[in-house]
Amino acid sequence: MPWFGMDIGGTLCKLVYFEPKDITIDEANAEVETLKNIRRYLTKNSAYGKTGHRDAHLQMDNVRIRGRRGTLHFIRFPTSEMGNFLALAKSKGMANLVTSVCATGGGAFKFEENFQKEVNMNLAKFDELDSLIRGMLYIETTNPHECYYWSDPTDDNKCQKVPFDFSEPYPFLLVNIGSGVSILAVYGPENYKRISGTSLGGGTFLGLCCLLTGCNTFEEAIELATGGDNTRVDKLVKDIYGGDYGPFGLPGDLVASSFGQMNSTERRNAVTKEDLARATLVTITNNIGSIARMCAVNEKIERVVFVGNFLRVNPISMKLLAYAMDYWSKGTLKALFLEHEGYFGAVGCLLQFNGKAVDSVEGVDTTKMNREQLEVYAHKILEELEREREERNFFQIERDKLRTFWEITRHQLDEARAQGRNKEREKEELAEKHEAELKLYKQKVKHLTYEHQTNLSETKAEHSVALKLAQDDHAAQENELINDKSELKKLQKEQELAYMNEIRALKLRHSEETNNMTRKLESEAAELEQKYEQKLSSQYEWLTLKHRMETTEVEERKNAQIANLLKNHENAFTEMKNYYNEITLNNLSLIKSMKEQMDATKRNEERAKKQARELTADNEKRSAELKVARENAAELARQLANYENNKQCLANTKRRLAAVMRDLENLKWENEVLELRFEKCQSERDELHSRFVSAILELQQKTGLKNALLEKKLEKLYNLWEQREAEIGGEASVRARSDSATTTKTKEKSQVRRKTIKREIRPHHSFPSISFCFFSFLLSGHAKKERGRKMATRIDEQRTKRTFTSQLSREASQARVKHEG
C-alpha cells in the first residue's frame, strides 16, 4: 500500500509520499497493477495538472521510515484544489488500496467528510504542532545540510547560504509561517509550548497582492516583488529625519511607516505593481520578524528557526529576517532556515502513523458486527468481487490491445531508427564536404594575410617619411611661436607701465574729488544742523504756548465747575435743612441702609484709589519707555557719520516726537476718560441723593424714635467722618503741594462747612444733621479726590514735556559735537 502523509493548511496542501526501495521479490509479485500505476504517476511526473507540483530538488533518497528504506517525495497543491485531488485519487483507484491516510492541519478536520464521501477514506488525524516538531527533527537528523543561515544578507555580492550545525538544537524558537504564524518555544522533543502568533502571514501576503496587483498565485506575487522597490511605497526614517536617527540608532533606510507614501496622489500614480508587491512582502516580513524577536528576548532563546511555505522561493523574506535578527539583537540572535520549509508537518504525521489506526474492511468497521451482518456484508463483498473480476477481464483485454499497439509502435520505431541511420550517413558526408571547404578557405585566408602584411609594410614606410616631414614643419612653427611670445611679453610690459601711470593719475584725481565732496558735505551738515535747531526752538515755543493756553482753559473750567458746585450745594443744603427739621427718625432699618451706603462709598473710594495707582504705574511705564527711546536716539546719534545718517537721524527724531505727541494725546484722552468717570460718580451721587430724599419723604410719616440712641450713633459717625476727612485732606495736601492756593481755599471751605454742620447738629440733635454731615462728607471726599487726580495728571504732563525737550536738546548737542569731531 502507498504511504502518504498530508498537511492540509489554509492556503496550501503538502503531501509526502514514501516510496519503499527494499521491495522483495514476493512483494513485487504480490503488488497490484493499480499500485504500480500510482507509483509511476507520482514519481515520473513533476507537475500534476495546472496547480500540483512535485519539488524534485527536495527529494530525499535512502531514508528509513518504520523499518523500511526508500525515497521521500514532496508534493504540493493549493487547498482550494482539494476537490480535484480527490477526483484524481478516485480515478487512479487509490480508494481500493488504502482505507486510511494520516493527516494534520486544520484541513484534516475540514475535509474529513469529503474524504469519506468521495474516496471512502478515513483520516488518521495528528496534532499539527507535534507533527511539525517531529518532522523537523527527523529531516534535520537525516539530511546533514538541512539547516543553514544567510551571511551578509544585505550585500548581494557576498550573500550566501552557510550550513549550520544543529546537532544540539535545544532550546530554540520555531516560527512556522503558513497562512498565519505560530511561534513555539521548544525545549525538548516533547517539551514545547506555543507562546505567540499573528494572523499576518503568507495568506495575508498573497491576498493583499492579489487585491493590489491582480496576480493569482504565490509564485507570481514573489516574482513581482523581486522586481519592485518598497522605498517608493513605504516611508523611511530618512524621509522623516533627513538621514539616520542617531539617538535611538535607527538607520535612514529603515521602514518607519509601511505604505506611508501612499497618502500622496502623485506617489500613488507613480508606483507600480512590482513596488506594491515588494512593499507588501516587506511589511509582512517585518511584522513577523519583530514578533519573533520579542518572543526570543522574552524567552531568553538565542536561536530562531523559521519554517513554512511562505519562505519557499522567497529569498527576500529570508534575508530580511536574517538581517533584522542580527541587527536589532546586536548579533546575539541568529535566524536559521531549513531546506524543506513547509513539509515538516506532513513528514511528522507520516512518522506517527503505524498503519493500524482503523480496524476495517473497505472502510467499514467489522469489529462490532454480528454473524447475520457479517454474512450480508460477505455477500456484498462477493458481488463486489465479481464486479472486480469483470473489470479485471476488461483490463486484460485492454492490456492485449496495448501490447498490440506496442508491437506496432516498436515496428514504427525500427523504421524511424533506420531513417535516423540514413540521416547520420548523410551528416557524415556533409561533414567531409565541410572539412574540404574549410581547408580551401584557410588557404585563401593565408594568401590574404600575406597580402595584408605586404601592404602594411609599404604603408608604414610612407607614413614614416610623412611623419619626419611633419616633425620638421612642427619645429619651424615652434620657433616662430617662441619669437612671437617674446615680442608679446615686451608689449605686455609696456602696456603695464602705461596702465600704472594712468592708475596713479586717477588716484590723485579721486583724492581731490573726495576732499571736495567732504568739505561740501560738512557745510551742508552744518546748515542742516542750524535749520534743525531753529525748527526745534520754534516747535518748543509753540508747544509751550499751546500747553499754557490749554492749562488756562482747564483752570477756568475747573473754577467755573467749583463755583457751580458750591452754588448747587448751598441750594441743596437749604432745601435739605427745611426737610430735615421736620423729620424724626424711629426706624433702625434706615441706619442699616446708611451703613450699606457708607460701605458702597468706601468701595467707590477704593476703586478710585486703584485707578489713581494704575495711572501712576502707567506714567512710570511710559517714562521708562521714553527713557529707552532716548537711549536708542543717543545710540543712533553716535552712529551719525555723513549726510545720509544725519537725514536718517532727523527723520527718527521726528518720528519719536510724533510718538511722544501721540502719547500726550493718549494721556489727554485718559484725562478725559477720568473726567467722564468723575461725572459718572456725580451722577451716582445725585442718584443716591434722590433715593435718600425719597426715603426721607417716606420717613416723614414715621416718628417716635429715641433721640438719645441716635445721639450716640451720631457721635460715632461724626468721629468717623472727622477721621476720614483728616486722611483725605492729608492725601490731597501731599498730591497738590504745587497748587497751595487752591488747597487753602478748599480747607477754608471745608472748615466753614464743618462749623456750619456743627452749628446745625448741636442745637437740634436731630436726624437731618446726620444726613447733612454724611452728604457733605461725600461731596468733600469726591471733590478732593478729583482735584488731586487732575493736579497729578497736570504735573506728570509738565514733567514729560520738560524731560522730552531737554532730551532733544542734549541729542542735538551730541550730534553737533560728533560732527565737529
- The closest of 8, 69, 64, 4 to 35, measured between CA atoms, is 4
Task: Give the DSSP H/E element, type plus range, for residue 172.
Answer: strand 172-177
Place of cell 498730591: 735
Amino acid identity for residue 32 in this structure: V
Q: What is the DSSP letter of 95?
A: G
Catalytic option among 31, 128, 223, 487: 128
- Domain borders along the chain are 1-125
CA–CA distance, 561 with 554 (Å, rounded to integer): 10
Q: What is the DSSP letter of 56?
A: G
- Using an 8 Å Cβ cutoff, are 144 and 124 in contact? no
Give residue-wise pLDDT tens across range 338-354: 988 888 999 998 888 76
- Strands, E, within 178-302: which ranges? 181-186, 192-198, 235-236, 255-257
Share of the chain above pLDDT 90, in %: 12
Can you say whether residue 43 is alpha, beta or left, with left for phi > 0 and alpha for psi between -120 and 50 degrees? alpha
Asked whether residue 767 carries a pLDDT value surpassing 50, the answer given is no
Least confident of 336-350, 355-369, 445-459, 490-504: 355-369
Contacts of 174 (CB under 8 A, 6+ apart): 132, 133, 136, 183, 184, 185, 186, 192, 305, 307
Checking if the pLDDT of 133 tops 70, the result is yes
Residues 268-323: pLDDT tens digits? 888 999 999 999 999 999 999 999 999 999 999 989 999 988 888 888 889 989 88
Query: Long-range CB contacts (< 8 A, 24+ apart) of 449-457?
Result: none
**Helix 767-820 and helix 588-638: axis angle, to 10°?**
0
- Pick the range with the lowest mean pLDDT from 57-66, 234-243, 369-378, 498-507: 369-378
Give 77's strand partners: 13
Determine contact, residues 319/150, Cβ cutoff 8 Å: yes
Closest CA to 590 of 767, 762, 749, 723: 767
Is residue 632 scored above 60 in pLDDT?
yes
Looking at residue 174, what is its pLDDT?
Answer: 93
pLDDT in tens, 140-151: 888 888 899 888
User: What 8-state DSSP symbol labels residue 7?
Assistant: E
For residue 465, with 0-12 CB atoms within 10 Å meaning exposed, 13-18 middle and 19 or more buried, which class applies?
exposed
Strands 181-186 and 334-338: unpaired
Q: Distance between CA atoms of 546 and 111, rounded to whole angstroms?
A: 110
From residue 183, how far is each of 178, 306, 425, 667 by CA, in Å?
A: 11, 9, 67, 81
pTM of the entire structure?
0.44
The cell for 246 is 542617531
- DSSP letters, 646-714, are HHHHHHHHHHHHHHHHHHHHHHHHHHHHHHHHHHHHHHHHHHHHHHHHHHHHHHTT-----HHHHHHHH
Closest C-alpha among 614, 798, 593, 806 to residue 688: 593
Helix (H) or strand (E) holding 62: strand 60-65
pLDDT at 772: 44
- Rounded mean pLDDT of 535-544? 84
The fold of the 1-125 domain, in CATH, is Nucleotidyltransferase; domain 5 (3.30.420)
pLDDT, tens digit (0-9, with 9 covering 90-100), for 701-759:
666 666 667 777 777 877 787 777 777 766 655 555 545 555 455 455 555 545 554 45
How far, in Å, are 182, 331, 381, 505, 794 from residue 801 at the CA level?
89, 81, 132, 57, 11
The whole-number pLDDT of residue 294 equals: 92
Q: Residue 773: is its pLDDT beyond 50?
A: no
Q: Respond yes or no: is residue 375 known to be catalytic.
A: no
Spatial separation of the C-alpha atoms in residues 812 and 814, rounded to whole Å: 5
| Section 133-157 average pLDDT | 87
Q: What pLDDT band is residue 181 in, cutting at 50, 70 and 90?
A: very high
Q: What is the pLDDT of residue 273?
A: 93
